[in-house]
């Protein structure tokens, strides 16, 4: 009989998963799996469990928010073989679930976790760590991990907005970076925000990460916001991000490898969790590193979904 490891974070989101646990496990069993379940006990526990036990299973399913997914896939990166991973999004935002066309309904997501369409996706390397869909610094990036879990459980995504309003006065804080691209180009300036992404949404907002996003092309979408000279420039920058129009203070491009150098330590966020306070960061793309069970329509290899291209190479 096939074996499935189910790792879940019972506190993520509004802790709704507790109500569906028996039904979720039953879905796995009915799909022909022997199931071992594990409730995470602390930060990085999902990574530890999957890295230590995952090689003995045919399928791994993770339930939780973006941070739990990050831990799960980080654990997968330590395994000696590629094992498919399913994902039941139960957090407050679940950005990467949007890219994978996973439903908010947990039971429907559980069915896709075992019977969905497998797709290879790129994974990011961040110094010695990994990220699934976003590495970012600057304005509001610490909202995701500084917002109390109890408040997130009570208010959901609205808790992030409340926390962001508290930090609005710090939006103009800038960081001086020297950025080296793989083609040798050097970018040096003061930035209030930067993100390296592989997702159709960030912070729950679709469309702000760029256009023609391909999850397995070996490239990230990079967006850098220069320090504005006045509030009018800031307003123009925000409008340009939302409408995807060009702006002189916004630098956007695709890249497979980047090096960030700063004179002072800068806080980074990886998939909504604290990623360290660093002066030097090397980001690289691991092309098609993980096979994920998705809700994507893969009847054609180059399927355009919501105007977002996702090339799915299932035989790599």
User: Is there a contact between 54 and 36 (Cβ–Cβ < 8 Å)?
Assistant: no
264 given a catalytic annotation:
no
Q: Which of these is catalytic: 71, 163, 221, 273?
A: 273
The CA-CA-CA angle for residues 45, 199, 67, to 5°, reads: 15
Domain boundaries, the chain: 2-124+288-298, 129-286
Q: Which of these, 122, 123, 102, lies nearest to 113 by C-alpha position?
A: 102
Tokens, residue 260: 């960030």
Q: Is the dihedral of CA 260, 126, 113, 18 positive or negative?
A: negative
Summarised one tens digit per residue, pLDDT across range 253-303 is 999 999 999 999 999 999 988 999 999 999 999 999 999 999 987 654 334
Summarised one tens digit per residue, pLDDT across range 117-165 is 999 999 999 999 999 999 999 876 654 444 444 534 443 444 334 344 3
Tokens, residue 149: 């879990």
In the chain, what's the furthest Cα-to-Cα distance?
64
CATH superfamily of 2-124+288-298: Probable inorganic polyphosphate/atp-NAD kinase; domain 1 (3.40.50.10330)
CA-CA-CA-CA torsion for 37, 38, 39, 43, nearest 10 degrees? -140
- pLDDT of residue 87 exceeding 80, the answer is yes
Find residue 130's DSSP bridge partners.
Answer: 125
| Integer Cα distance of 171 and 252 in angstroms | 20
Q: 194 pLDDT band (50/70/90 cuts)?
A: very high
Phi, psi of 79 (to 5 degrees): -80, 155
Lowest mean pLDDT among 31-35, 83-87, 225-229, 257-261: 225-229
The correct CATH number of 129-286 out of 2.60.200.40, 3.40.50.1970, 3.40.30.10, 1.10.3720.10 is 2.60.200.40
Q: 0.85 cut: is pTM over it?
A: no
| Integer Cα distance of 91 and 113 in angstroms | 16
- 128, with CB counted inside 10 A (0-12, 13-18, 19+), is exposed
| Integer Cα distance of 4 and 33 in angstroms | 6
Residues 6+ apart with CB under 8 A from 53: 5
User: Is there a contact between 129 and 74 (Cβ–Cβ < 8 Å)?
Assistant: yes
Exposure string over 133-160, b if 16+ CB within 10 A, otherwise e: bbbbbbbbbbbbbebeeeebbeeeeebb
Q: Do the domains 129-286 and 2-124+288-298 match in fold? A: no
The position carrying tokens 């993520």 is 12
Question: Between 21-30 and 106-115, two packed helices, what is the crossing angle to 10 degrees?
Answer: 30
pLDDT at 208 (0 to 100): 76
């Amino acid at each position: 009989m096939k074996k499935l490891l189910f790792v879940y974070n019972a506190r993520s989101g509004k802790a709704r998963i507790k109500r569906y646990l028996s039904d979720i496990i039953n879905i796995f069993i009915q799909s022909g799996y022997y199931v071992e379940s594990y409730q995470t006990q602390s930060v990085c526990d999902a990574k530890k469990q999957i890295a230590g036990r995952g090689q003995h299973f045919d399928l791994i399913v993770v339930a939780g928010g973006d941070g739990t997914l990050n831990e799960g896939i980080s654990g997968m990166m330590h395994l000696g073989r590629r094992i498919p991973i399913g994902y039941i999004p139960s957090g407050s935002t679940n950005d990467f679930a949007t890219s994978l066309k996973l439903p908010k309904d947990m039971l429907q997501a559980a069915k896709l976790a075992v019977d969905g369409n497998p797709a290879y996706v790129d994974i990011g390397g961040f110094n010695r760590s990994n990220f699934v869909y976003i590495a970012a610094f600057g304005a509001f990036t610490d909202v995701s991990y500084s917002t109390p879990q109890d408040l997130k459980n009570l208010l959901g995504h609205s808790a992030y907005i409340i926390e962001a309003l508290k930090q609005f006065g710090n939006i103009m804080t800038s960081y001086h970076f020297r950025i080296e691209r793989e083609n040798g180009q050097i970018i040096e300036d003061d930035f209030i925000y930067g993100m390296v992404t592989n997702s159709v949404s960030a912070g729950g907002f679709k469309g702000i990460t760029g256009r023609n996003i391909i999850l397995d092309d070996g490239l990230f979408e990079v967006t850098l916001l220069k320090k504005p000279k006045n509030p009018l420039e800031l307003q123009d920058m925000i409008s340009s991000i939302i409408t995807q129009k060009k702006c002189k203070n916004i630098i956007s491009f695709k890249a497979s490898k980047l090096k960030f150098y700063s004179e002072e330590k800068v806080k980074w966020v990886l998939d909504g969790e604290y990623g360290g306070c660093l002066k030097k960061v090397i980001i690289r793309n691991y092309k098609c590193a993980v096979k994920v069970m998705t809700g994507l329509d893969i009847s054609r290899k180059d399927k355009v979904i919501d105007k977002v291209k996702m090339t799915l190479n299932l035989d790599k």
